[in-house]
Copies of this chain bind each other. A is one copy, B any other.
């Protein structure tokens, strides 16, 4: 039985007890049926993964004590995912998948054809936390607030290259072999694609590389996972160097 993993926003050090939040105590006691003396795993995004023991547990409070580090801190490569929010369930899904696939930062963007005007950033961030707990990572990607794409591109630092999965390029995929290492952002469009002016602007940017994701039109959530997989295998931490 795999141990419970909890993200906890607190420094982790041997023997230094940590008070659980009300939600964490509830989750451990009532949902997962843990009790004092049980072992869990903790990570905070900075100090790696720690084996910890539950010192005290009530319904809405408790303490855990880190005993020893079980994995070093592993940060993902410097890869952002930019995507246009779609229907709620699929937006949740994209955030979950991006965390599992090792995106360092998740940036919802508002494009000319994006339907949603706002997102629940706190809810999406909670999905990223849950995905990190589940996938064994020691890092939780930040989910930013919704950014208008035009404003984001106005201030874009061209040293971060953009891999634009252009749904209008249906056909054989470009290979990612030969792309420069370094900071990247993957950009996935909304259903309905980008507007003509967005397309013109992206095409004119030196730091943008357009790719196709094959001969079928992928939904945005599928395209996000597929593009992250190709990037990770070629340039990221799936690569065996």
Residues of A within 8 A of B (CB): 74, 93, 96-97, 100-102, 134-137, 170-176, 212-219, 222, 225-230, 232-233, 236-241
Contact = CB atoms under 8 A, between A and B. Distances in A.
B136 A217 contact: yes
Contact of A135 (B100, B174, B217, B230): B217
Contacts of A239: 172-173, 175
B226 A213 contact: no
Contacts of A173: 232-233, 238-240
10 contacts: A100-B219, A100-B222, A101-B218, A135-B218, A136-B216, A172-B237, A173-B240, A175-B233, A225-B229, A226-B229
Contact of A216 (B102, B170, B233): B102
Copies held by the complex: 2
A214 B237 contact: yes
B218 A100 contact: yes
A225 B227 CA distance: 10
Contacts of A229: 213, 225-227, 229-230
B214 A238 contact: yes
B136 A240 contact: no
Contacts of A135: 216-219
A216 B137 contact: yes
Nearest to A89: B89
A141 to B, nearest CB: 12
A147 to B, nearest CB: 25
B225 A213 contact: no
A238 B213 contact: yes
Contacts of A101: 214, 216, 218, 222, 226
Contacts of A175: 233, 239-240
A80 to B, nearest CB: 17
Contacts of A213: 229, 238
A239 B172 CA distance: 5
